[in-house]
Homo-oligomer: A and B are copies of this chain.
Amino acid sequence: MKAFQDTIIALATPAGSGAIGIIRLSGPEAVMLVNRFFEGKFKSKDLPFLPSHTIHLGYIKEGSKILDEVLVSLFKNPHSYTGEDVVEISVHGSPYIQQQILQLFLKNGVRHAKAGEFTLRAFLNGKMDLSQAEAVADLIASNSETSHQLALQQMRGGFSSEIKKLRDELIRFASLMELELDFAEEDVEFADRQQFKDLVQRIKLILKHLVDSFATGNALKEGVPVAIVGEPNVGKSTLLNALLNEERAIVSHIAGTTRDVIEDELVLDGVRFRFIDTAGIREAQDEIEQIGIRKTYEKIKEAKVVVFLIDACALSLSARCHTPEHDIVLKQFEAELKNITQKYPDKKILIVVNKIDKMDQKDYEIDRDIYSLIEISAKHKTGLEHLKNELVSLVNKGLLDQNEVVVSNARHYQALNDALQSVLQVENGLESELSGDLLSIDIRAALHSLGEITGEITTDDLLDNIFRNFCIGK
C-alpha cells in the first residue's frame, strides 16, 4: 500500500444550494484535523478514539466562531473509499458555508483535491483496480439503464477479473520462458510448447471476443446509432420528431425528473438510441434533388440499426394512391434494400411503411417472408409503439447478452487490441518455432497491454489522462 503524506479535501456534492453538502477529507491527518475544529454535541471522546463508520453531531468552529452545525462521519483506514482515514462532513447546503469550511481546512495544512484524486488514491492503495476506478466515472455519467449496468458490472470487477486470470496464466508461461533464457546454453524447454500453444489459442479467442464486444459496448454506452433512411418526402423528419417529442412529453411527466433531454437521443426501456445525421434528415425536405444513394450509404455505415421508410402508396396495388412515379420509387427501394443487405449483412434493418393513413385498407403487398413490415403513420402518430418495441427487442436480442462481459471503454478496447496483436505474433512465433528470447518480447508486450487495463502497469501520463476526466471530490 502506498502511503500519502498529505491530506486532501473537496466538496463531494454538486455545487449550489441544497439541503445538504458533503465535504470530504482523506489522508493521514484527516481525523486529527477535523477533530481540532469539531466540537461534539454529545460525544464524550475525541474523534481519533471513536470507532469507524460512526456519525457524530456537533459544530465546526474557527476559534470561538461557529461555522456550522454538522454531522461528521468517520471512516478509518483501511475501511474507507480511499483506503486512508476519511472524514465526511455533512454541512448545510449553502455555498457560502461550504467555502468557509473548505477555507478553514485549506488554511490548516490540507490540500485541495484534484479531479478524481480520491479515486486515484483508492486505486493506488489497492482498493480497486484501474478498470474499476474508470467505472466509477462511467457510473456517475451513466444516463440510461444499459450504460448504468455496464458501469456497475465493470465497477464490481467482472471484466477485470477475467483479464487478470488471462494475464496470470500468461505470466506463468512467460517466467518459464525467461527461465529457459537463463539456461540458454543448455538448450532446455521448461515451458511445454503444446500447452503454451493451447493457452495462446484460448487467450486469442477470448481477446477477439472482447475486442468484438466493444462495438456493442460502445453502442450501449453512447447510444445505439440508428439511421432513418428513405426517399425524399417519405416522412423521415416527421417520424423523428414524432419519436422524440412523444418521449419528451413522457419524461416531463415524471415528478422530479429534470434530466436534460439531448436532441436526437431517445431512451426506450433503458436503452439509449442515437439518431445519426439527423440534421440531414431535418433538412431533407428541400434537398430532393441532391439526396442520393451515396449519402444514404454513408449514414448506414455508421448505424447499427437502419430504419428504412417506404411510402405506403408505393407498395399499394390500388390506383387510388399508387401513381406511376411510385413504380420508380418502389424499384429504387427494392434495389437499395438488396444493396444494403449485401453490403452490410450485420446491420439490423427495420422496414417501416409510412403514411398508412392514406389507405382505407391494406391494399399493398410486399414479400413478407423476407421482411417484417412495421406499419405506421408518423403524421397521425399511429404504430409508433410497435416501432419502438421492435427497436428495443432488436437490441435486446441481437446486441446485449445480460451475462456477457462487454467492453465499453475505448482505452480498454485499444489495450485489448494491442494485446491481441501481440498474442497473434506469439502464435506465429510458436508456429515458426521462434527462439525463446524472441517469443518473450511479444509475450511481454501482451502482458504490458493487459496490465494497462487493470492498472498493474501504469504511467503518470496514463493516470493523468484517466483521472482528469473525473469530477473534483470523487
**Residues of A that sit less than 8 Å from B by CB:** 10-22, 24, 53-56, 65-66, 68-69, 73, 75, 90, 92-97, 99-100, 102-103, 112, 118, 136, 139-144, 148-149, 152, 155-156, 254-259, 471-474
Which of these, B20, B53, B257, contacts A54 with CB under 8 Å?
B53
Which residue on B lies nearest to A42, using beta carbons? B79
Residues of B within 8 A of A99 (CB): 254, 256-257, 259
Residues of B within 8 A of A12 (CB): 18-20, 93
In the bound assembly, the distance between CA atoms of A20 and B18 in angstroms comes to: 13
Which of these, B14, B100, B141, contacts A148 with CB under 8 Å?
B100
5 A-B residue pairings within 8 Å (CB atoms): A14-B21, A15-B16, A73-B73, A92-B139, A102-B256
Residues of B within 8 A of A155 (CB): 69
Copies of this subunit: 2
Residues of B within 8 A of A143 (CB): 94-96
In the bound assembly, the distance between CA atoms of A18 and B11 in angstroms comes to: 9
Residues of B within 8 A of A53 (CB): 54-56
In the bound assembly, the distance between CA atoms of A56 and B52 in angstroms comes to: 10
Given A53-B56, A92-B139, A92-B140, decide whether A256 and B19 contact each other with a Cβ distance below 8 A: no
Residues of B within 8 A of A140 (CB): 17-19, 92-94
In the bound assembly, the distance between CA atoms of A231 and B140 in angstroms comes to: 57
In the bound assembly, the distance between CA atoms of A90 and B90 in angstroms comes to: 11
Which residue on B lies nearest to A55, using beta carbons? B53
User: Do B19 and A152 touch across chains, with their CB atoms under 8 A apart?
Assistant: no
User: Do A20 and B19 touch across chains, with their CB atoms under 8 A apart?
Assistant: no
